[in-house]
Amino acid sequence: MKTATRPTLADVIECARKAGETAMEYFRCSHEIGMHNKLNDSDIVTIADKQSETVIKSYIQTRYPDHAILSEESGETDGSAGYRWVIDPIDGTTNFFAGIPFWAISIGVEHNGQTEIGVVYLPATGELFHAIRGQGAFLNDIPIHTSPESHLSRCVISTGFPVDKDTNPDNNLDNLAVIMPLVRDIRRLGSAASDICYVAAGFLNGYWELNLHEWDVNAATLILEEAGGKCTRFREDRNISLVCGPQAIHDQLLSRLNPRPTTASGCRR
């Protein structure tokens, strides 16, 4: 068993691929995948999430036993080495459960609070994004860069909606109404990590969303930044609320997004 060492990119990729193999055993399969709700009908978890998490955590604990882990499904474990792995075993569980191939294994590795390695793997599409801080971003080992587009009217932008959208009127519809007329079109793809990586690769021109969590964005934001993009947390009251894109599009979106909570009866903050 290894003592505490700096994780290698090869290990993080291997870990993601192993988790992806496990998840694919359940994807579009006829056997029961054990879905149940967490907060409501919009917030679900499946046995595949749990099995993928088990594979990732077992891999880390075997090779890097004194590293901390933050995972969506089981919370945080302590470590003593200054490293923390931030994992989402399946980002886009609703897509996964529905048989839509846009979901990802997301693994970020922090050292002393700064993400140094990011891997986002889409097993159903065969796309693996990775970055090491200061060394650029890659899709299947080919360098990627954000789009050079600077005209918002020519952009395809993605967004998403918080899981409490049914009860909280602060649900991003105000921003959607502002941005929609200004762009070529808007997509709602359902996996924040994948959205951000698609912006990094220039497939999308920008992205924003409210009420995300560290495991959703930790790896992907490093990949975006290494691809030449920019991320800003434009709200402080809705967990992690991000706007992302190449500099020009990021700035135009940021100037138009509402930085304050919607004031309406029954709004929970």
- Of 22-26, 27-31, 144-148, 246-250, where does mean pLDDT reach its minimum? 27-31
Region 241-261 average pLDDT: 94
Q: Report the pLDDT value the prediction gives residue 39, as an integer from 0 to 100.
A: 45
Q: Please count the other Cβ atoms lying within 10 Å of the Cβ belonging to residue 81.
A: 16
- Same domain for 135 and 163? no
Q: Which structural domain, as residue segments, surrounds residue 195?
A: 152-256
Q: Extract the annotated binding site.
A: 72, 88, 90-91, 216
Q: Is 88 a catalytic residue?
A: yes
Q: Which of 22, 93, 159, 221 is catalytic?
A: 93
For residue 1, is it within any domain? no
Residues 180 and 134 in one domain: no
Question: From its phi and psi, is residue 257 left (phi > 0), alpha (psi between -120 and 50) or beta?
Answer: beta
Binding residues for Mg(2+): 72, 88, 90-91, 216
CA 120/CA 101 separation, integer angstroms? 14
Whether 90 is catalytic is: yes
Give yes or no: residues 138 and 56 share one domain: yes
Q: Is 93 a catalytic residue?
A: yes
CB 85 within 8 A of CB 23: no
Say whether pLDDT at 19 is over 50: yes
Is the domain of 95 the same as that of 186?
no
CA distances to 73, 102, 253 from 154, in Å: 38, 24, 13
Q: pLDDT at residue 50 above 80? A: yes
Q: How many domains does the chain have?
A: 2
Residues 50 and 115 in one domain: yes
216 is catalytic: yes
Q: What is the pTM of this model?
A: 0.91
